[in-house]
Amino acid sequence: MTKERVLLALEAWKETWTLRMLGRCYRMCILLFTEKRFFELETNVLEKVVPSYTTPGVGVTEIKHPLDLLWALLLNVLMEVVWEKTGMKTRIWAREREREEAMKALSGDDLDEVLRFIRGYLAPRIKVREMREGLVAYYAELDRVKARERGSTLRIEVARGGRKLRYEIPFFDEELARLVKERLGALGLPNLEVR
């Protein structure tokens, strides 16, 4: 039996519908792009919106008066102070770094070892109680995998037999989203379209 190597591992949020959330929501998944297959692990973690890894701030798109700039700077400074005092900023940055490092570490390893690591070590640490295989298919069985970057979010759409699965992957900044998009495009997988 030949070993199947994981080329890229990503934590993603799949658009779904569930009675538990009374409608549309997002389910946390782990996507594994292997040498031969697309592999989705679904978790029990549901959110109404895709979690954001950016710190909220007030952006000014149009400055009509010098006081607008002063007001925006004051609000940004106040938000920074609140985030620093509550420790939220540090937790968000630490969570993003841990997530990126864990997913990078999984790339290149044997699929069976990666699945054992995710289920046995990673899942309890990211507070996942349940994990099951979702869509698992050879690339030739997929109609299309489309990835596009929009700001600091990478959106992936997987189409198979008229069914489309949509995933969002939030990043801390636009540079990280662009780098992962480029890495995905460099894999050269069949039926993969990267924009």
DSSP character string of 53-77: -SPP----S--SSHHHHHHHHHHHH
Q: What is the pLDDT of residues 82-129, one digit of tens each?
A: 556 666 555 555 666 666 666 666 777 789 988 988 888 888 877 888
> Around Cβ 66, how many Cβ atoms within 10 Å?
8
Q: What is the pLDDT of residue 81?
A: 60
Q: What is the pLDDT of residues 42-93, one digit of tens each?
A: 999 999 888 875 544 434 444 455 555 555 555 555 655 655 666 655 555 5
Q: What is the pLDDT of residue 24?
A: 86
DSSP code per residue over 105-133: HHTTSBHHHHHHHIIIIIHHHTT---EEE
Residue 194 · residue 8 · CB < 8 Å: no
For residue 184, what are the contacts with CB-CB under 8 A and spacing of at least 6? 8, 33, 147, 154, 192, 194
Q: What is the pLDDT of residue 61?
A: 42
| CA angle at 26 for the pair 186 and 93, rounded to the nearest 5° | 65
CA distances from 70 to 67, 81, 84, 87 (A): 5, 17, 21, 26
Q: What is the pLDDT of residues 166-177, one digit of tens each?
A: 999 988 778 888
pLDDT category, 18, cuts 50, 70, 90?
confident
pTM for the full predicted model: 0.74
Q: Which helix (H) or strand (E) holds 79?
A: helix 66-86
> Around Cβ 13, how many Cβ atoms within 10 Å?
22
Q: Locate tokens 């409608």: which residue? A: 23
Q: Domains along the chain?
A: 6-54+86-194 (2.30.29)
Q: What is the pLDDT of residue 52?
A: 74
Quote the DSSP letter at residue 28.
E
Average pLDDT over the chain, rounded to whole? 80
Q: Is 101 helix (H, G, I), strand (E, B) or coil?
A: helix
Q: What is the pLDDT of residue 90?
A: 56
Weakest mean pLDDT among 19-28, 35-44, 145-154: 19-28
